[in-house]
């Protein structure tokens, strides 16, 4: 093609280099090529060395519909797989927090008896999974943990500070079936008390307290539908502990087996 003139789209190209190849695609079957003139504008592809570029073609990068669908499917699968795991984390954290709060209250009551050299009476009340309370007070007269008005004589307090827990104190603004049961020496509690002795901090009458708390997850309020369960125990020696039910429930690894 060296030394020839070509008219392409109204422009004259002269002395094209040998490494430039021009390919013409004719729109009509009877179209004839004249070396001096062309009566139509061809679709021209220019190849410079190893690169190929299209003069009339302007392609923009982006996602195809199939690629977009694949991305959406992958994201949806990831979300679906992460929801149960996140729910378990929330259930375990709530249960652990509630058990630690009960443990802290009972431990404080036991140590207060020794510190003040006087009896500390702990009141337990249980009506339902989300209706329960625990409260402590100094002296020989038990408080009523169901009383929430601090001006009432039956309010549970030690040295002017409220020492009571209930469902709203532990898990506020939630509907959570937390408390499975409370028992003293094997007998279920509805309204009962224990007394921490001031001499050694032991439990008077050698009573033992067992408090079973379970996670909310499940289709109903029965213990068998729960995934996690913790027990807060008070031994006759006055020792308070938390353990996890490993036989019928999944373990919470930070606590020892019951």
pTM over 0.95: no
Note the pLDDT tens digit of each residue in 42-98: 444 444 444 444 444 455 567 788 888 888 888 877 766 655 567 778 888 889 999
> Token match 């038990």: residue?
142
Q: Which burial class, exposed, middle or buried, applies to 234 when counting CB atoms under 10 A from its CB (0-12, 13-18, 19+)?
A: buried
Say what the pLDDT of residue 60 is. Answer: 54
Q: Which pair of tokens denotes residue 178?
A: 């937390």
pLDDT of residue 217: 52
Q: What is the residue extent of each domain of the chain?
A: 5-54, 95-244
- Phi and psi at residue 170, in whole multiples of 5°? -80, -45
Topology given in CATH for the domain delimited by 95-244: minor pseudopilin epsh fold (3.55.40)
Alpha carbons within 13 A on the beta-carbon side of 237: 3
């Amino acid at each position: 093609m060296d030394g020839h003139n070509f008219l392409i789209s109204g422009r004259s190209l002269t002395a094209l280099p040998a490494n430039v190849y021009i390919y013409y695609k004719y729109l009509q079957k009877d179209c004839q090529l004249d070396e001096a003139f062309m009566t139509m504008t061809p679709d021209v592809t220019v190849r410079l060395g190893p690169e190929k570029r299209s003069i009339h073609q302007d392609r923009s990068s982006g996602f195809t519909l199939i690629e977009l669908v694949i991305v959406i499917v992958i994201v949806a699968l990831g979300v679906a797989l992460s929801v149960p795991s996140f729910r378990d984390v929330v259930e375990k954290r709530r249960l652990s927090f509630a058990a630690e709060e009960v443990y802290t209250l009972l431990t404080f009551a036991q140590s207060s008896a020794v510190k003040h050299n006087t009896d500390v009476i702990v009141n337990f009340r249980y009506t339902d999974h989300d209706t329960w309370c625990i409260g402590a007070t100094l002296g020989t007269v038990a408080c009523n943990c169901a009383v929430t008005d601090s001006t009432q004589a039956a309010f549970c307090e030690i040295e002017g500070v409220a020492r009571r827990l209930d469902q709203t104190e532990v898990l506020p603004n939630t509907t959570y079936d937390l408390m499975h049961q409370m028992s003293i020496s094997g007998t279920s509690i509805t309204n009962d008390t224990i007394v921490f002795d001031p001499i050694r901090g032991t439990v008077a009458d050698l009573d033992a307290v067992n408090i079973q708390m379970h996670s909310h997850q499940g289709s109903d309020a029965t213990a068998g539908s729960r995934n996690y369960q913790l027990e807060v125990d008070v031994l006759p020696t006055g020792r308070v502990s938390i353990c996890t039910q490993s036989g019928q429930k999944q373990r919470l690894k930070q606590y020892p087996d019951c």
